[in-house]
Structure 1
């Protein structure tokens, strides 16, 4: 059984995955890294050269690959919930945790990042985060078996909550 972390960028998925990996002695798999490896391009290069649809297709291939693994931490990209087949695959052998945060917290955590191209055009960064988060929230909620609000707790506290749930399964 895998631990699958979903949520918007900046909610702490990667940092929490690292803590969980070390604490539980489980391998951590970053789906974005898998996409980059499969395409042999950075995410901005994939999107610029082929568009978001191609990126999402590669993401689905990686989700299917990861779903065949066992006893790993899966750190997904924020848009993994855009395609229902990704969640179906990840749920086959995983417990899905939605790490969530408010728009202001997300913006404060990721506004200086350059690893992802814009998802919307002609908007401020905060407007983009708010719009995309609003569009995705119902999908995150539907996909997740557990929700953890990361606004006012540390990544270690998030990991501790996940571990407590994990041990009860």
Structure 2
């Protein structure tokens, strides 16, 4: 089966949304940002979802959005950074999509996320250490891409 979607994945702050928007425009494809879709579905910003309901609820909402986005054709899909935590998310996206992993150095990620909205998973004293730890935890989930 021909893959009709381009799926951008990678850690938060690597540029999935920005690259996805530009790629979709260049290729004249529909653009889906799964974080934005989760916010629309819940009616709250992601930090507020985490604060009010916790990460588990966010991941459930994210999985529902992923299942729907995976059915799309001719789309560029920018996923949330933690989408790789759920093997079903990746299986669904892989069915019709070519998965592309975007990456950046931890220091670059830190610079980028400090300039944007609050990131619930990066709360703590040492931002660079937290990023390195999360990257290490997720690295084993990435080789199958």
- Interval containing the TM-score (normalised by the shorter chain): over 0.9
Secondary structure at the aligned position of 2:99 is classed as strand
Query: Is the contact made by 2:122 and 2:131 (CA closer than 8 Å) also made in structure 1?
Result: no
Which structure 1 segments of 5+ residues have no match? 145-169
Partner of 1:106: 109
Greater than 2 Å deviation, 4+ residue runs: 120-123
1:112-148 per-residue CA deviation (whole Å, 9 max, x = no partner) reads 222421x265441111111101111221232x2xxxx
- Superposed, 1:129-140 pairs within 5 Å as 129-140=131-142
RMSD, matched Cα = 1.3
| Structure 1, 132-141 or 4-13: larger mean CA deviation | 132-141
1:78-111 per-residue CA deviation (whole Å, 9 max, x = no partner) reads 0000111100111111000000111112112222
Q: Report the Cα distance in structure 2 between the residues aligned to 1:73 and 1:122, rounded to whole angstroms.
A: 33
Query: Is the contact made by 2:113 and 2:119 (CA closer than 8 Å) also made in structure 1?
Result: no
Q: How high is the TM-score relative to the length of structure 2? A: 0.92
Q: Report the Cα distance in structure 1 between the residues aligned to 2:20 and 2:48, rounded to whole angstroms.
A: 25
Q: Report the Cα distance in structure 1 between the residues aligned to 2:142 and 2:13, rounded to whole angstroms.
A: 15
Q: Report the Cα distance in structure 1 between the residues aligned to 2:50 and 2:80, rounded to whole angstroms.
A: 14
Query: Is the contact made by 1:35 and 1:58 (CA closer than 8 Å) also made in structure 2?
Result: yes
Which structure 2 segments of 5+ residues have no match? none
Structure 1 115/29 Cα, relative in aligned 2: closer, same or farther at 3 Å?
Answer: farther
Q: Report the Cα distance in structure 1 between the residues aligned to 2:124 and 2:14, rounded to whole angstroms.
A: 24
**Residue-pair matches, total:** 142
